[in-house]
């Protein structure tokens, strides 16, 4: 059977996409990121409060994010920001998600597949 790209899981890559998008313009720490995603998506998308960190660490390990420790109001926190590599990855993820969303929108608008037989 010829190889064909599939969408194995629609939610695959969503946390990465949202995190990269959020951090594109400002650095944030984990708690801020989770709050921000919840606020901006009106709680439609909620990333597990604790499980955001493996995603962040994975992105950092891949070179898409960088982190630095910063002391704010007497508390030391790890702030994350996007690297140039992360911007490239964001563009790729955004592109694939936009085309996926457009395809789904088209389906939902009622495009009928006439003459299937």
Partner 1 sequence: MSGPFSELRERLLEAGIAPRYARRYVRELSDHLADLTAEEGREGRSHAEAESMALRRLGSIDDLASALIERREFQSWAVRAPWAIFGLAPIAFLAVAWSVALLILWAGWNIFLPQADSPFATSIGPIYGIENACFQTGRLIYFGAPIFVGWVIGMMAARQRLRAVWPVFGTSLVALIASAAQVHASRTRVADGIGHITMRFSFGSSVQDVSGNLAQAFLVVSLAVLPYAVWRLRRPKPLST
CB atoms near residue 113 (< 10 Å) = 6
The one segment of 2-10, 45-53, 85-93, 104-112 that binds partner 1 by CB under 8 A = 45-53
- DSSP assignment, residue 3? -
Residue from the set 7, 12, 40, 51 that interacts with partner 1 by CB under 8 A: 51
Q: How many chain residues bind partner 1 (CB under 8 A)? A: 16
Should residue 63 be labelled a site residue for partner 1 when binding is judged by CB under 8 A? no
Burial class of residue 60 in the structure, from the number of CB atoms within 10 Å of its CB (0-12 exposed, 13-18 middle, 19+ buried): middle
Torsion angle (degrees, nearest 10) of CA 75, 81, 33, 49: -80
Residues 80 and 57: beta-carbon distance below 8 Å: no
Residue 11 · residue 88 · CB < 8 Å: no
Whose Cβ is closer to partner 1: residue 30's or residue 86's? 30
* Interface region with partner 1, contact rule CB under 8 A, candidates 3-11, 26-34, 82-90, 91-99: 26-34
Site for partner 1 contains 29 (CB under 8 A): yes
Of 5-13, 51-59, 88-96, 100-108, which part binds partner 1 (CB under 8 A)? 51-59
Contact residues toward partner 1 (CB under 8 A) are 29-31, 34, 48-51, 53-54, 57-58, 61, 75, 77-78
């Amino acid at each position: 059977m010829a190889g064909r790209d599939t969408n194995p899981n629609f939610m695959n890559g969503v946390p990465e996409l949202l995190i990269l998008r959020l951090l594109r313009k400002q650095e944030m720490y984990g708690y801020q990121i989770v709050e921000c995603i919840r606020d901006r998506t009106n709680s439609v998308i909620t990333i597990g409060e604790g499980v955001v960190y493996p995603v962040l660490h994975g992105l950092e390990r891949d070179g898409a994010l960088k982190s630095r420790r910063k002391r704010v109001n007497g508390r030391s926190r790890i702030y994350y920001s996007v690297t140039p590599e992360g911007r490239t990855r964001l563009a790729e993820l955004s592109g694939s998600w936009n085309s996926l969303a457009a395809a789904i929108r088209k389906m939902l608008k009622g495009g009928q597949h006439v003459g299937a037989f």
